[in-house]
Amino acid sequence: DESSGYESESAGGDRSAVAAGGTRGRQRRTRTAFTSEQVCRLEKTFQRQKYLGGSERRKLAASLHLSEVQIKTWFQNRRMKLKRQI
């Protein structure tokens, strides 16, 4: 029975890994790589309006083949980028 030293053999070992910043349960979503066409369309939309309503977000998400959450997050990040530039 060999042990790498990285895995705890006690029952409480999992909690210490989570407390130390390890991920358990829900995995982090991978970073979305937007295509240049998607970014161009997002930027054009952002120039017209800084905030999207629900129906606008749904339409844009469908036309760009992205989720509404991805659109919402992109707009949040873009507004923060604009705020930093100003």
CA dist 15 → 7, 22, 48 (Å): 12, 9, 48
Ordered mean pLDDT values, 10 residues apiece, the chain (86 residues)? 43 48 74 94 98 97 97 98 96
| 82 neighbors 48 (Cβ within 8 angstroms) | no
Rounded CA separation 44/54 (Å): 18
- CATH domain 36-85 topology: Arc Repressor Mutant, subunit A (1.10.10)
pLDDT of 85? 96
pLDDT of 8? 40
What are the domain boundaries of the chain?
36-85
pLDDT of 69? 96
pLDDT of 65? 97
pLDDT of 30? 86
